[in-house]
Amino acid sequence: MAEGMQKKIALLGSTGSIGTQALDVISGQPGRFEVEVLTAGNNVRLLSRQALKYNPETVVIGNKEHYQKLRESLRHTRVKVYAGEEEIERVASECRAGLVIAAMVGFSGLKPTLAAVKAGKKIALANKETLVVAGEIICRLAKQSGCQIIPVDSEHSAIFQCLVGEPPGSVEKITLTASGGPFLDYTTEMLREIKPHEALRHPNWDMGNKVTIDSASLMNKGLEVIEAKWLFSLEPEMIEVIIHPQSIIHSLVHFRDGSVKAQMGLPDMRVPILYALSYPDRLTSELPRLELNKHSSLTFTEPDTTRFRNLSLAYEALKSGGNTPCVLNSANETAVIAFLAGKIGFLQISEVVEYAMSQVDYMPSPGLGYLETTHNEAREISLDYINKLSK
């Protein structure tokens, strides 16, 4: 980063867990970053407070019903205010920011990220669903536009860091670590009785509700497996998962000569966020440091895909390809919402996903329009099935 030059940032999803932590990172690096764009879906109060603090050029609220409230709160500023998902997409493409942090959760983050990729922006990618649903399309367009994608997820950031400077073709496999969530040692009978508030208590990480539930069910790791295929051009058999409850080793790369690299650190998302924002530089920070003498026991076990079916379903979707990962993602999004609302049990999340995967017609090479159709169809099939389960 050139001396005296501020890197302009567009933050898509500024009010979520990754978004708020990204702003915390930016605040800790005064003079290095300039917030150009902030967007949110519904949290108009927090978006307004963020805009007043960071003074971006543009803010966008996805839900148009909140437009007047947001505009009124910023009437004494020069901040441009827009509303609607199509405006988030437009701003992601047309803004002056060279770096876009894609932190919107779920399928809704696909189009804005796609627009930024087409525009050749550098992407700090925290929305794993983008590559899960449309990895082939994203990678093709990124190659055409010259867009560089830097992963923000701690596991993918770890793999990315381990690969810096390594020659192409030197990787034998990668290992993504998983904490196992709060129910690692629960029996199947115990898993059936889990309540939403219990599943939201992650032992290591501070994340939003959707990602926290996905972590507890191992779907988060399944989505990361699919994402890793596209980020690092890997075959499914080159991606493995291991349970590491301490969350100190964030992932590993195994090389063809027998060497293994691991990236380590405390479970703090601000570290990979800072790396993604500053890459290829490493900036000094005041974030907490890892002291190995305080973590003398690091353990590793194989994941149990009998109790945690979502991981094996994700591997099935990855190997099937086409629109199957889209079905997996959409059904899971719908099932997680239903679980949080108390409509289905914890183990029924994977039951809903498996059912939807068996019902949606397969398309080997879907375009964006067909993926949207798949998303909506999988959602409707999942909702119908959830209604039957909850009767």
Per-residue pLDDT tens digits for 278-298: 999 999 999 999 999 999 899
Statement to judge: residues 162 and 118 lie in one domain:
no
Q: Tell me whether residue 368 is in a domain.
A: yes
> What is the structure's pLDDT at 224?
97
Reference 173, options 269, 255, 60; nearest CA is 255
Q: Which domain holds residue 208?
A: 154-267+288-305
- The alpha helices in 1-120, defined as continuous H runs, are 17-27, 44-54, 67-73, 85-94, 110-118
Statement to judge: residues 108 and 158 lie in one domain:
no
Statement to judge: residues 293 and 177 lie in one domain:
yes
Q: Tell me whether residue 113 is in a domain.
A: yes
H/E run at residue 151: strand 149-151
Q: CB count, 10 Å around CB of 239?
A: 21
Q: Are 183 and 190 in contact (CB under 8 A)?
A: yes
Q: Tell me whether residue 277 is in a domain.
A: no
CATH code assigned at 368: 1.10.1740.10
Model confidence pLDDT, tens digit, residues 65-96: 999 999 999 999 999 999 999 999 999 999 99
Q: Tell me whether residue 13 is in a domain.
A: yes
CATH code assigned at 54: 3.40.50.720
Statement to judge: residues 127 and 232 lie in one domain:
no
Show the low-confidence residues of the chain (pLDDT under 50).
1-2
Statement to judge: residues 175 and 206 lie in one domain:
yes
> What is the structure's pLDDT at 176?
98
The residue out of 305, 334, 364 marking a domain boundary is 305
> What is the structure's pLDDT at 47?
98
Statement to judge: residues 124 and 222 lie in one domain:
no
Number of structural domains (the chain) is 3
Q: In what order do the strands lie in the sheet with 80-83?
A: 80-83, 58-61, 33-40, 7-12, 99-102, 122-125, 149-151
Q: Tell me whether residue 282 is in a domain.
A: no
Per-residue DSSP letters for 348-368?
HHHHHHHHHHHHSPP-SS--H
Reference 39, options 70, 68, 8; nearest CA is 70
Statement to judge: residues 92 and 206 lie in one domain:
no
Statement to judge: residues 92 and 18 lie in one domain:
yes
The HSE-up count of residue 376 (CA atoms within 13 Å, CB side) is 5
Total residue length of the chain: 391
Separation of alpha carbons 305 and 286, rounded Å: 39
Q: CB neighbours of 285 closer than 8 A, spacing ≥ 6?
A: 25, 28, 29, 270, 271, 274
> What is the structure's pLDDT at 329?
96
The residue out of 305, 332, 357 marking a domain boundary is 305
> What is the structure's pLDDT at 307?
95
Place of tokens 């026991």: 297
Statement to judge: residues 134 and 11 lie in one domain:
yes
Statement to judge: residues 179 and 146 lie in one domain:
no
Q: Tell me whether residue 283 is in a domain.
A: no
Statement to judge: residues 212 and 106 lie in one domain:
no
> What is the structure's pLDDT at 208?
79
Place of tokens 């917030």: 35
Statement to judge: residues 257 and 337 lie in one domain:
no
Q: Tell me whether residue 272 is in a domain.
A: no
Q: Tell me whether residue 312 is in a domain.
A: no
CB-neighbour burial class of residue 46 (10 A; exposed 0-12, middle 13-18, buried 19+) = middle
The residue out of 122, 151, 180 marking a domain boundary is 151
